[in-house]
């Protein structure tokens, strides 16, 4: 069983995004263009619903990441390698640990463990759930009524893992005194639609069935 203790560290200074081989980072529109390309956005989109949030892009530009090296999102193999080396274990993982998430109550240690869930259709299909449990209950009575949050990681159903939300899941578990369940659903294209959606629905059903057993409030 893993353990994580939340702290309140200062935000580390991050250098702006820059392309490989450049001594100085590009500025202004060039940075925004580079970010839009990496994130699959159109900086000059005429449809307001498609136009990116410039404030968001400017914040992204402060992250310690070479966005010029981000593979195309449809290049599944290389994108997963990039996510693993940069998001899960690299500079972004370190940057997330330095985020100053404001706490309204004292942080508590979080116990983390992985469990395997078998689908109820008898197919033998299994998927994983990463569970984040705040270590606050001194007895069974105190554990009753603890809410449950189902966390579905991002990645367009073809990338990502629950570990990518580790810092945020741990923060929610501590701040809300809740059990957070990160669903490690099966990814496309190896497992075409609706495999990932089915896993998420199955996870919700799994929590519901064990509602009374876990003594938790489903949220």
DSSP alpha helix (H) spans, 63-189: 76-82, 91-97, 140-143, 166-176
Give the DSSP letter of residue 200.
Answer: H
* pLDDT tens digits for range 173-218: 999 999 899 999 999 999 999 999 999 999 999 887 765 555 555 5
The four Cα atoms 86, 89, 91, 95 give a dihedral, to 10 degrees, of: 120
Strands across the sheet with 109-118, in order?
Answer: 2-5, 109-118, 126-134, 179-184, 146-152, 216-218
Q: Is the pLDDT of residue 1 over 90?
A: no
* pLDDT tens digits for range 79-126: 899 888 888 888 888 887 777 788 888 999 999 999 999 988 878 899
Give the β-pairing of 2-5 and 109-118: antiparallel
Calculate what percentage of the chain has a pLDDT beyond 70. 78
CATH 1.10.3860.10, applies to 109-218: no
Please report, for the chain, the start and end positions of each structural domain, with discontinuous segments joined by +. 29-97, 109-218
Give the β-pairing of 126-134 and 216-218: unpaired
Q: Find the length of the chain.
A: 219
* pLDDT tens digits for range 15-64: 444 444 444 444 567 778 888 887 778 888 899 888 888 888 888 888 88
- Indicate the pLDDT class of residue 144, thresholds 50, 70 and 90: low
Q: How far apart are CA 154 and CA 23, in angstroms?
A: 33
Residue showing tokens 């940057």? 95
Contact 191, 121 (CB under 8 A): no
Residue 207 pLDDT = 86
Q: Is the pLDDT of residue 3 over 80?
A: no
Q: How far apart are CA 197 and CA 199, in angstroms?
A: 5
Q: How far apart are CA 54 and CA 59, in angstroms?
A: 9
CA angle 29, 30, 33 (to 5 degrees): 85
Residue 67 pLDDT = 79
């Amino acid at each position: 069983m893993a353990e994580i203790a939340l702290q309140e560290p200062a935000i580390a200074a991050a250098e702006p995004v820059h392309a490989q081989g450049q001594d100085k980072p590009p500025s202004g529109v060039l940075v925004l263009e580079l970010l839009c390309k990496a994130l699959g956005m159109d900086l000059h989109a005429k449809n307001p619903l498609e136009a990116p949030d410039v404030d968001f892009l400017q914040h992204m530009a402060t992250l310690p990441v070479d966005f010029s090296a981000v593979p195309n999102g449809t290049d599944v193999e290389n994108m997963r390698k990039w996510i693993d080396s940069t998001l899960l274990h690299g500079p972004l993982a370190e940057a997330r640990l330095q985020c100053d998430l404001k706490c309204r109550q004292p942080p508590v240690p979080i116990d983390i463990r992985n469990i395997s869930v078998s689908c109820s259709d008898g197919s033998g299909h299994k998927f994983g759930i990463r569970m984040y449990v705040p270590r606050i209950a001194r007895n069974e009575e105190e554990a009753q009524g603890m809410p449950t949050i189902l966390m579905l990681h991002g990645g367009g159903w073809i990338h990502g893992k629950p570990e990518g939300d580790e810092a945020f899941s741990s923060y929610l578990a501590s701040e809300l005194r809740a059990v957070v369940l990160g669903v490690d659903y099966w990814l496309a294209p190896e497992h075409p639609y609706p495999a990932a959606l089915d896993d998420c629905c199955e996870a919700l059903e799994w929590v519901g069935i064990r509602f009374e057993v876990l003594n938790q409030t489903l949220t």
